[in-house]
Chains A and B, each alone.
With several copies, the nearest count.
Chain A
Amino acid sequence: MTELNLVQAVNRALAEAMRADPDVLVIGEDVGLNGGVFRATEGLYKEFGADRVIDSPLSETGIVGAAIGMALYGLKPVAEIQFLDFIYPAFDQIVSELAKFRYRSGGQYPCHVVVRAPYGGGVKGGLYHSQSSEAYFAHTAGLKVAIPSSPADAKGLLTTAIFDEDPVIFLEPKRIYRAVTGEVPDGDHRVPFGKANTLRQGDDVSVFAYGAMIHPVLQATDTLLAEGISSEVVDLRTLVPLDEAAVCASVEKTGRAVIVHEAPRTAGFGAELAALLAEKCLYSLKAPVLRITGFDTPFPYALENLYLPTPERIAHGIRSTVRAG
């Protein structure tokens, strides 16, 4: 075990995977000498050289397109998109190509690329350095979507992603890159996909979240405990595959559900969770499902702290859900 922050854990996962397997490589903007703008690839260039830590021209289209070609040829590329907000030039490659290669070829051409991107708000990044667009990828059949909320999960989920057989969109909550530290297992630590992590057991309400939002959620539920409200906090870890069983089991137990994410509400991933409950757990629900989310606006700059769900707003929502029925 080593105490690391989240971005160090990402770095550790990359370094160890690259040591373990010569086919693993990193490609992206400023990932080389500069070590990535968030230092996620710090030290890799020195250790593995320009052939495996590839500083690319300024083209996300090219980064993902080339990574797909490398994967087809048997390498295991990890592409870094500098901010998730800049993934759209690669959207065609991701949605039309990466997600569909295995299917369209009848399984002849699996295409395993990991696309890593720092995402989410809370760093004074405004419209274009703050977005949470996980729903686009979750809706795209053929992709897996993983989002760690702790350093240990960052290493464990990223290692799983790198040695998976499928394309993975790996979203790193940059707001907690350095703000959150924790013990991280040494060596080949893997966290399986599709297994949610119940961070708090509780009886009155289930709270579903992922990524950076886990932390204000825990602050809120810890506060509410003093008020006598017992929340079960479930960290989804991967949106695809989704641990439907854990989601349903929790709500069958508590009878109430609150969903928290930073992305705008309309057609966000929270909608999928609420829909799942409306389909599979309707008779267990004692109160309306509540989504506490970013608003249906682009991400604002000056007011980001009002835009993002806070412990207070989350606590308020949980409280009213528990009171509702």
Chain B
Amino acid sequence: MADATQAIPSSAEPPVRPLEIPRLELPRAYRTMVLARLFDDRCLALQRQGRIGFYVPMGGQEAAQVGCTWALDPADWLFPAYRELGAALVRGVPLTLLLDQFIGNSGDLLKGRQMPNHYGYPKYRIVTGSSPVGTQISHAVGAAMAAKKKGHAIVTVPFFGDGTTSSNDFHAGLNFAGVFQAPTIFFCQNNQWAISLPRSRQTRSETLADKAVAYGIQGVVVDGMDVHAVYRAVKAARDRALRGDGPTLIEAQVYRFGPHSSSDDPKRYRPEEDLAAWKARDPVTALQHELLEAGLLTAESDAALWDAARAEIASAIQEAEATAPVDPLSMFDDVLARPTPALEAQRAEFATWLGQGETRT
């Protein structure tokens, strides 16, 4: 796992204001947010069309994810939940590879084992997530302890939602991080909902960042619709962690624009007004306006950027949908490094049965 790609191109520009996104990187960050927005919308549509089986959209959380990951080093390890498309795109994961995973075809490095959104790749320092919420939090802490022990100057970053602050691993992970001063940045995207449960009913603490007190670590609330604010908070937390000053819990306040997942209908529980109020602060639009005003973008270059993103997405879909399905017998691989005698026999028997060509459902 030594081949991290340089997903964030290093900038020639000297870091004058070390806690700000370098000006020349802003258009690329914006482009990543646009790509996330478009690709996310498209994937939900693919699910509606039955072309992928399930999807967890992230609309509304672009600035939080891109701002956070932009502030990190490519060598830092990410432990996503399932909604972190923005982080993956910053790291440079190809759209086709993501789609291969969503489809579960033979191009999927996960070999069709997981539901969509649960991808991860050593090359991009993104650890494959599971569905049970929160478990990645203590993994991130363990990895940070290991990195520290090995003398590697990296941080680990678990992503999770407001609901997940109630999980066992939130408690265990933050407590271990405090005790062992693990270089971990706990990045909580408070999108105000855990499926149908509003933030106010999840916990009575005033903010989620307040929970840091319980572990003697730093807690920070940040406007997650503002890519700059997020970048600054993460950058500062990273510096602090690497100075040996311990972990940070960052609460990025955002809003989930879409349903919890393709299986969810937010109309059953969510007031329309709330959504409208937050949509008025759409993070993609906000950065668009800023860049237009700052002259880093023109109406024309912006339109071209959106078109190019759309084209990139279309071609990735075409490619992924043309990729062969996964090999049936691959189902038996990777349980252990070598199969047990029992599994070996099951595989052999199944192979024979498949070979018999009987009707299969």
Question: Complex Cα distance A35/B195, Å?
Answer: 12
Question: Would you call B335 and A103 a contact (CB within 8 A)?
Answer: yes
B253 at the interface (CB under 8 A from A): no
Partner of A69 from B145, B197, B202, B342 at Cβ < 8 Å: B145
Scan residues 26-77 of chain B and give those whose CB is less than 8 A from a CB of chain A: 53-54, 77
Give chain B residues whose Cβ lies under 8 Å from the Cβ of A296.
335, 340, 342-343, 346
**How long is the Cα–Cα vector from A206 to B301 in the complex, in angstroms?**
71
Q: How far is the CA of A313 from the CA of B114 in the complex (A)?
A: 24
The answer to whether B343 touches A297, judged by C-beta atoms less than 8 angstroms apart, is yes
Report chain A residues within 8 Å CB of B326. Answer: 302-303
User: Is B118 in contact with A72, judged by CB distance below 8 angstroms?
Assistant: no
Interface residues on A, range: 35 or more
User: Is B332 an interface position by the 8 A CB rule?
Assistant: yes
Docked CA distance A178–B233 (Å): 47
B242 lies within 8 A of chain A by Cβ: no
Decide yes or no whether A311 CB sits under 8 A from chain B: yes
A312 with B358: CB separation less than 8 A: yes
The answer to whether A295 and B343 have CB atoms under 8 Å apart is yes
- What sequence of 0s and 1s flags, for each residue 123-161 of chain B, a beta carbon within 8 Å of any chain A beta carbon? 000011011110101111111111101100000100000
User: Is there an interface contact between B142 and A108, defined as CB atoms closer than 8 Å?
Assistant: no
Q: Judge whether A73 and B54 touch: CB under 8 Å.
A: no
Report the bound CA distance from A35 to B112 in whole Å. Answer: 31
In the complex, whether B201 has a CB less than 8 A from a CB of chain A is yes
Q: Which residue of A lies closest to B163 (CB)?
A: A58
**A303 contacts B328, CB within 8 Å?**
yes
Closest B residue to A75 by CB, please name it. Answer: B146
Q: Is A127 an interface residue (CB 8 A)?
A: yes
B232 interface residue per 8 A CB criterion: no
Q: Shortest Cβ distance from A121 into chain B, in angstroms? A: 12
Bound together, the chains give a CA A251 to CA B141 distance in angstroms of 49
- Binary contact track A249-266/B, C-beta < 8 Å → 1, others 0: 000000000000000011
Q: How far apart sit A44 and B332, CA to CA, in the bound complex (Å)?
A: 40
Question: CB-CB < 8 A to B146: which residues of A?
Answer: 69-70, 73-75
Q: A35-B268, A92-B168, A311-B361 are in contact. Are A142 and B335 (CB under 8 A)?
A: yes
B107 CB → nearest A CB, Å: 11
Query: How many Å from the CB of A96 to the closest CB on chain B?
Result: 5
From residue B59, how far is it (CB to closest CB) to chain A in Å? Answer: 20
| CB neighbors of B among A92-134 (8 A) | 92-93, 96-97, 100-110, 124-129
For window 138-197 of B, CB contacts with A under 8 Å fall at 138-147, 149-150, 156, 163-164, 166-169, 171-173, 175-176, 179-180, 194-197
- 18 CB < 8 A contacts A-B: A33-B269, A58-B202, A62-B172, A64-B138, A65-B172, A66-B142, A92-B132, A102-B337, A106-B110, A106-B113, A124-B54, A126-B115, A141-B343, A194-B340, A266-B342, A297-B343, A302-B113, A303-B326
Could you list which residues of chain A lie within 8 angstroms of chain B, going by C-beta atoms?
A: 25, 29-30, 32-35, 37, 51, 54-59, 61-62, 64-75, 77, 85-86, 88-89, 92-93, 96-97, 100-110, 124-129, 141-142, 144, 164-166, 194, 240-245, 265-266, 295-298, 300-303, 305-307, 310-313, 316
Other A-B pairs beyond A59-B167, A65-B141, A66-B173, 14, CB < 8 Å: A51-B149, A57-B202, A61-B169, A62-B141, A68-B139, A69-B142, A77-B142, A104-B130, A106-B113, A109-B120, A142-B335, A243-B341, A296-B340, A302-B112
Q: Which residues of B contact A (CB under 8 A)?
A: 1, 53-54, 77, 103-105, 108-115, 118, 120-122, 127-128, 130-133, 135, 137-147, 149-150, 156, 163-164, 166-169, 171-173, 175-176, 179-180, 194-197, 201-203, 263-264, 268-269, 325-326, 328, 330-337, 340-343, 346-347, 350, 353-354, 358-361
